[in-house]
């Protein structure tokens, strides 16, 4: 990967069109040193709290803080605990205290520097403290770059379930610096790419074909392959979110592969398996099911599976009994046959929701 150049310009800027809450997603190399001025310009803030976890802060907070200082902001790093297990209300309360100790007011921007966990936690604190502070996302995992940091959903877990408390709080801008990916474990990298494959599979056949041509280069983080891939993946999510900010219709298509993924994560109790890995398995399942139901031509599932495998992702459902899957699929525990909006593929690049019961999603004998 190239040396970070202070002041480097973005390779691309993807607009997210949400009326007066529209914002840019800047994508490039060496952007940490450039973002300070951009944050100052976009938020008019006088203070910036850079919220991060030790793993990420140690490596990248310095560069970002320096560029914020150079832009004239008073900037401080605020540490939060790492991991989804700490994405909870107790950590939010600690973060509120730290922000208030820093003197946070409406002219203070909360900058999330880290993966989706930090983005969700810091974003939720920003959405709620003093009824809302300006917020900026600086994602440092592939998953956060293409998924969690785009769309404005923020929130935390409750003991009884994931992401049960939350808000919509759009960032003022998103700054993606691919240099930060150099330290990301390869397993996390691949897991993030599952959501990239998903974007192509459900929305854009040409993009899917491009991934079929350069999957290995993207996995190796070669900038010529990675930068346009991130640009297109962000643009797809941005377009879907712009059309359906509150998830009334189209945004549901982003759940491709997620019905089974959530069941798998529940069965594993969220241990041992990464979200993107579960999504990869769920997507292959959804594609095969779409073929079996005659919704898409044969061959589609094979292409999805081959591409995911080349990225080092698992594609077969783990062996749990069918009844365990069925009960994990039953979101509405009182109505056993309540239908689920299952996202099916009609072709590579085209998806639609089909209401199916859990037993129809997972027929006996399959």
- Kindly state the smallest distance separating residue 49's Cβ from ligand NAD, in Å: 18
Query: Catalytic: 309?
Result: no
Q: Could you say which of 58, 183, 206, 302 contacts ligand NAD (CB under 6 A)? A: 183
The catalytic position among 237, 288, 289, 330 is 237
Stretch that binds ligand NAD, among 35-43, 129-137, 175-183, 329-337 (CB under 6 A): 175-183
Is 117 among the residues that bind ligand NAD (CB under 6 A)?
yes
Residue 353: CA count within 13 A, CB half-sphere: 16
How big is the site for ligand NAD, counted in residues (CB under 6 A)? 27
The catalytic position among 70, 74, 209, 247 is 247
- Kindly state the smallest distance separating residue 323's Cβ from ligand NAD, in Å: 27
Residue 26 β-bridge partners: 13, 175
DSSP 31-95: THHHHHHHHHHHH--SEEEEEE-HHHHHHHHHHHHHHHHHTT-EEEEEE---SGGG-BHHHHHHH
Do 307 and 229 contact (CB within 8 A), yes or no?
no
Is 114 among the residues that bind ligand NAD (CB under 6 A)?
yes
Query: Catalytic: 198?
Result: no
The catalytic position among 262, 288, 289, 330 is 262
Q: Which is nearer to ligand NAD, 168 or 320 (CB)?
A: 168
Query: Catalytic: 262?
Result: yes
135: exposed, middle or buried (Cβ count in 10 Å: 0-12, 13-18, 19+) = buried
Q: Which is nearer to ligand NAD, 101 or 243 (CB)?
A: 243
Rounded CA-CA distance 257/343 in Å is: 7
Is 345 among the residues that bind ligand NAD (CB under 6 A)?
no
Residue 74 β-bridge partners: 47
Buried b (16+ CB within 10 A) or exposed e, 28-48: bbbbbbbbbbbbbebbebebb
Query: Catalytic: 195?
Result: yes
Q: Could you say which of 10, 28, 30, 151 contacts ligand NAD (CB under 6 A)? A: 151
> Which of 172, 174, 236 lies closest to 205 in space, CA to CA?
236
Query: Catalytic: 162?
Result: no
Can you say whether the dihedral through the CA atoms of 165, 168, 171, 175 is positive or negative? Answer: positive
Rounded CA-CA distance 122/133 in Å is: 11
Residues in 20-79 that interact with ligand NAD by CB under 6 A: 53, 55-56
Stretch that binds ligand NAD, among 180-188, 201-209, 225-233, 357-365 (CB under 6 A): 180-188
Residue 112 in 3-state DSSP?
Answer: strand
DSSP 188-233: HHHHHHHHHHHHHHHH-HHHHHHHHHHHHHHHTT-HHHHHHHHHHH
Query: Catalytic: 131?
Result: yes
- Kindly state the smallest distance separating residue 100's Cβ from ligand NAD, in Å: 24
Query: Catalytic: 76?
Result: no
| Residue 187 DSSP code | H
Is 148 among the residues that bind ligand NAD (CB under 6 A)?
yes
Max CA separation in the chain (angstroms): 65
Do 171 and 123 contact (CB within 8 A), yes or no?
yes
Query: Catalytic: 255?
Result: yes
Is 175 among the residues that bind ligand NAD (CB under 6 A)?
no
Residue 215 CA to chain centroid, in angstroms?
Answer: 19
- Kindly state the smallest distance separating residue 297's Cβ from ligand NAD, in Å: 30
Residue 173 β-bridge partners: 136
Is 10 among the residues that bind ligand NAD (CB under 6 A)?
no
Q: Could you say which of 34, 61, 138, 147 contacts ligand NAD (CB under 6 A)? A: 147
Query: Catalytic: 319?
Result: no
Is 184 among the residues that bind ligand NAD (CB under 6 A)?
yes
Query: Catalytic: 44?
Result: no
Residue 139 in 3-state DSSP?
Answer: strand
Q: Could you say which of 144, 267, 345, 348 contacts ligand NAD (CB under 6 A)? A: 144
Q: Which is nearer to ligand NAD, 254 or 351 (CB)?
A: 254
- Show which residues are catalytic: 131, 153, 195, 237, 247, 251, 255, 258, 262, 275
Q: What residues line the site for ligand NAD (CB under 6 A)?
A: 53, 55-56, 82-84, 87, 114-118, 120, 140-141, 143-144, 147-148, 151, 153, 163, 180-181, 183-184, 188
């Amino acid at each position: 990967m190239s040396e970070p150049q202070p002041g480097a310009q973005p390779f691309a800027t993807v607009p997210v069109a949400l009326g007066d809450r529209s914002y840019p997603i800047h994508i490039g190399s060496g952007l940490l040193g450039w973002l300070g001025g951009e944050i100052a310009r976009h938020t008019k803030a006088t203070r910036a709290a850079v919220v991060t976890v030790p793993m990420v802060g140690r490596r990248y907070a310095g560069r970002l803080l320096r560029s914020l200082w150079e832009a004239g902001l008073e900037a401080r790093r605020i540490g939060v605990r790492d991991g989804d297990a700490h994405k909870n209300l107790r950590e939010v309360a600690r973060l509120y205290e730290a922000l208030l100790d820093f003197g946070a007011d409406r002219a203070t921007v909360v900058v999330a520097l880290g993966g989706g966990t930090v983005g969700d936690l810091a974003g939720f604190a920003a959405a709620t403290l003093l009824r809302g502070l300006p917020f900026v996302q600086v994602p440092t995992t592939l998953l956060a770059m293409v998924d969690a940091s785009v769309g404005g959903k923020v929130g935390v877990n409750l003991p009884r379930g994931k992401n049960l408390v939350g808000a919509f709080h759009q960032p003022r801008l998103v700054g993606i610096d691919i240099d930060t990916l150099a330290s990301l474990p390869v397993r996390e990298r691949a897991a993030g790419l599952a959501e990239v494959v998903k974007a192509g599979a459900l929305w854009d056949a040409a993009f899917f074909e491009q991934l079929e041509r350069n999957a290995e280069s993207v996995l190796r983080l070669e900038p010529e392959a990675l930068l346009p891939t991130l640009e297109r993946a962000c643009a797809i999510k941005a377009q879907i979110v712009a059309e359906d900010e509150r998830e009334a219709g189209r945004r549901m298509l982003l759940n491709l592969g997620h019905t089974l993924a959530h069941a798998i994560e529940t069965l594993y109790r969220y241990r041992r398996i990464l979200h993107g890995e579960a999504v990869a398995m769920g997507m292959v399942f959804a594609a095969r099911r779409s073929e079996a139901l005659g919704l898409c031509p044969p061959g589609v599932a094979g292409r999805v599976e081959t591409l995911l495998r080349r990225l080092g992702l698992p594609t077969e459902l783990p062996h749990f009994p069918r009844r365990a899957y069925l009960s994990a699929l039953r979101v509405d525990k009182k109505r056993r046959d309540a239908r689920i909006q299952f996202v099916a593929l009609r072709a590579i690049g085209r998806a639609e929701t089909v209401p199916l019961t859990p037993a129809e999603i997972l027929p006996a004998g399959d």
